Amino acid sequence: MKILLIDPPCDRFLGYTSECIPLGLSCIASYLNEKGHEVFVYNADHAQKSSHINIVEYSENQRNYLRAVNNDQHPVWQEVRDVIGNFKPDLVGISVMSVKILPAKKLISLIRKIDKNIAIVCGGHHPTIDPELFLRDDPVDFVVRGEGELTMAELMEKLSNKKDDYENIKSLSFLRASKIIHVPPRQLIPDLAILPLSEKDNVIFKETYNMDDFSIVMTSRGCPYACGFCGSGNMWKRTVRYRPVEKVMEEIEFLKNKYGVTNIKFMDDSFSVNRKRVENLCSEILKAKLNITWSCLTRVNLIDDGLIRLMKKAGCTKIDIGIESGNPRVLKIIDKEITIGQIEKAVKIIDKYKIFWAGFFMFGFPTETEEEAMDTLHFMKKIKPGWANISIFTPYPGTKLYDMCLRNGIIDSSYDPSLYMHQRIESFATDKISKERFSFVSKKMLNEFNGYNKSFFTLFKRARSRNYHRNPGLLIDDFKKLFKWFKIKN
């Protein structure tokens, strides 16, 4: 079958573009291509000409978001029509995060207008927790719940052979005689070694990506933690499964030899949750003498001096850390399972080894006061991340804090999906700050974080972490970004 897997546009309606190839869709594409199908990945949030804006602009642009999404003549939707019309797929698969519900629905409508015979499948985080949303009004043909490779492969086999006994495909939801059928869930793939290397060749507008965009690698799936704002457990069931280290090394060497990638981005939810495995991977990277750098995401309670020293030696130049709040009570409310002391200790270790680190913060949680939100701002400035990202808490369905917001009457079951955005001031979900005051607090937080990120201190630390001697092309790209940042600032 001829299959087009699409990550719907969202950020492009806000003046921003995604620069990476969607990892989940790439994994599904490679698995289906191996089964004999012709599968391409289309990141509709990736513009052929990249665009970078700061968080203040990003937030302000959301005023026009709904108008842009609903505008059939918007250049983004024209591009989508052209891609689908030229590719002529038998089936389109759409990955839907909660933040992308509205553009995904619009995309479904456009596909129906282009060719009613194109089968449509939705999958990803939101269809997993609410498959019926996509099977009621303007229904799609199928919803894949949870991990997608095996379910999609079995569905493609049925469709290729013109069989319709879909009741045998676990984790599939579909309509049968106007009745919604939910086939019981399948087990997660026990051995990730069966998955081929993620697809990088069959990518729409491949020529517009640079080598850094091909650098995303998965070494594991899942996270054992249960942060109250995170929906990861809906997909991965709070378990962690690992790819064999030799498979990870095979992919790293493949990316370096074929695409010239010198900086790998490990995209695991919690990279160092298995310390011994990280030690093994670092040892293999050193043994192979690949001369690469790499980045990862992890938690402060999974950091110690010996591990960071080894990671640095093996080429780690950047660590992303979810800190969320600078207030002890709020950290407990959101079930982060970390303390202020652990955060301070971890970032001191990272700074000791001169590894660039980015901190991810959030405010606006239910029961959080204005003073507690300000604690987060002051704490960020105290621990001095190389980059500080700030989000306004958004209650995602399927999370503990979403249920808490429902119980406390902060939101109701008709909560507007257009609000599922992390820098949208209207994403109001706290009962301790008035809406009027929350608007003021939000603007202050966004402006303060944006100003911090534009300081010479953070720009210098970021430049030092980029290893331009290994990848001179990044220097040109970063100069362009720097020029635009200062242009915005002035």
At 189, list the tokens.
């793939």
Whether residue 329 is contained in a domain is answered as yes
User: Tell me, what's the pLDDT at 294?
Assistant: 97
Residues 6+ apart with CB under 8 A from 399: 228, 229, 230, 231
Domain count, the chain: 2
Answer yes or no: is pLDDT of 471 > 70. Answer: no
Q: Is there a domain that residue 194 lies in?
A: no
Last residue of one domain, picked from the residues 137, 167, 182:
182
How far apart (Å, rounded) are the C-alpha atoms in residues 203 and 197?
Answer: 14
Residues 176, 279, single domain; the answer is: no
- Residue predicted with more confidence, 21 or 423: 21
Instruction: Answer yes or no: do 45 and 161 share one domain.
Output: yes
Give Cβ neighbours of residue 251 (< 8 Å, ≥ 6 apart): 197, 198, 217
In-domain check, residue 196:
no
Shared domain for 146 and 224, answered yes or no, is no
Q: Is the same domain home to 260 and 138?
A: no
pLDDT (tens digit per residue) in 308-338: 999 999 999 999 999 999 999 999 999 999 9
Rounded average pLDDT over 156-169:
96
Is residue 10 in a domain?
yes
> What does the pLDDT read at residue 138?
84
Domain final residue, candidates 182, 201, 236? 182
Same domain, 238 and 171: no
Do 87 and 29 lie in a common domain? yes
363 with 235, same domain: the answer is yes
Do residue 259 and residue 151 come from a single domain?
A: no
313 located within any domain: yes
Q: Are residue 235 and residue 369 in the same domain, yes or no?
A: yes
Same domain, 269 and 411: yes
Q: How many helices (H) and strands (E) does the chain have?
A: 18, 15
- Residues 257-272 pLDDT 10s: 999 999 999 999 999 9
On whether the CB atoms of residues 124 and 446 are closer than 8 A, the answer is: no
Residue 396 sits at the vertex; the CA angle it makes with 450 and 21, to the nearest 5 degrees, is: 65
Q: Which of 74, 26, 27, 49 is nearest to 207 (CA)?
A: 49
- CATH number reported for the structural domain that contains residue 321 in this entry: 3.80.30.20
Closest C-alpha to 8, from 125, 151, 118: 125
Q: Are 285 and 423 in a shared domain? A: yes
Query: What does the pLDDT look like over 32-74, one tens digit per residue?
Result: 999 999 999 999 999 876 666 677 777 777 778 889 999 999 9
| pLDDT for res 47 | 86
Work out the percent of the chain whose per-residue pLDDT is above 70: 93
Statement to judge: residues 238 and 313 lie in one domain? yes
* Residue 489 belongs to a domain: no
Q: 456 CB contacts (<8 Å, ≥6 apart)?
A: none
pTM greater than the 0.85 cutoff: yes
**Residue 417 pLDDT class (50, 70, 90 cuts):** confident
Question: Is 453 within a domain?
Answer: yes
Q: How far apart are CA 365 and CA 175, in angstroms?
A: 38
Identify the domain boundary among 139, 164, 182: 182
- Average pLDDT score, the chain: 91
Q: What are phi and psi of 356, to 5 degrees?
A: -65, 135
What is the CATH number for 34? Answer: 3.40.50.280
Has residue 418 been placed in a domain?
A: yes
What range does the domain containing 318 cover? 211-484
C-beta separation of 182 from 164 below 8 A: no
